Each structure stands twice: as structure tokens, then as C-alpha cells.
Structure 1
Amino acid sequence: MNAQTKIDTGTMTSKGQILIPKAMRDAAGLVPGQPYKVMVNEAGQVVVAPLGFGPEDAAERGRRIRAGLLAIAGKYPNPDGMSTDEYMRELRGDYEP
């Protein structure tokens, strides 16, 4: 378990909003406009963390990528022996990104 280095207190508003002190936002890597996740850990504590940075997020992202690759595997055979560049020219025409 992570050792607590600082404790701040506050009061929740009537709308259920709380203020996370800047020092704690910085320590957690939370930045304005960035998505975040809120969860309750095994100890019953509420945890706020940036979305997409935990090991469980990496594992889920890997699972989705593998599922996507398996979904298209074998759908695009290469009987003509065309290279990737040739396929892209066929799909895009004369367009070059």
C-alpha cells in the first residue's frame, strides 16, 4: 500500500463536488481537460486517477487490439502478391497523404 505523505481535508458541495488540491492533482498526474477514472479500492477508499495510465488499462487496451486483429485475420487475402504500397494505391487512387 502507498504511504500517505500529506493529508488535506475539504467539504463536499451540495451538488456532490469536491476540490482536489493542486499539489495532489500534480502528484496524481491529473491535468485540466484530461479524462479520469474514479474507483473504490479493496480498502473502501475512493481513488481518482488519470484514465489510461494503469496496468489494468494497458491490459484492456491490449485485449481490444488482439480482438480487433483476430476479427479481421484472413479477411484480406493476398492472392495477387501485391505489396502494402500497391494495396494503398488501389484504395486511395492517386492520393498521397
Structure 2
Amino acid sequence: MNEPAGSAAAYNRSRSAKKDELENYLDIAGIADLIDVTTCSDDVEEYKPAPDIFEVALKKLGIEGADAVAIGDTPYDAEAAGKAKALEAWGADSNLFHQGAAKERIRT
């Protein structure tokens, strides 16, 4: 099995999602030291579901989409990652968690 090329955090929740906001979230989650590169709305022209955010992350990592796995919390993440030709593109509807539906789906 090949060694991972690196890890990236790609964040563009909205047009206001800036680098300092991303860094803050990585610190809060306690994973800042696990991330090799970051990309946020500062780095892109178009927002998800356009693939820009993932394409920037791939370029920074120096890898092709076929060598990447993308995980997100909305269907827009999966759509954008798919357009960037990521090997795996997974997105869940984060609203399900707020509605309690995700809890039910996990149990079944």
C-alpha cells in the first residue's frame, strides 16, 4: 500500500470562510498538527458545488483527484469532490443531525 501524500483541510462554508476561521476550527478540533495544507474561500473563485476548493487542495498536495478521498458534511461536498475527480467523495446532510434523523439512521 502506498504512503499517503498528505492531508488537507478544505473549508468554504460560505463566502465569509477565511483562513483564520479555518485555523480556529482546526485548533478547536485538536487536529491542526495532522493537516499538511489548508484551503478556504480565500483560495477560490467559485464555491461548492464547483470543484475549486478541492482542486486547490489537490494542487497544494501535488496529487491527482484519483489519489484522493474527500469527506464532507453536505451533498454539495460530494458533488464538488466528484467534479474534482476524487477517488471517493462522501457527503452527508448535516441538517439530519439537527433534526435527529441521523441518530435514527445510525441505529438501524
Structures share fold, TM-score greater than 0.5: no
In terms of fraction of residues, the more helix-rich structure is 2
In terms of fraction of residues, the more strand-rich structure is 2
Answer with 1 or 2: which has the greater Rg: 1
The structure whose RCO (Cα within 8 Å, separation 6+) is larger is 2
Q: TM-score range by the shorter chain?
A: under 0.3
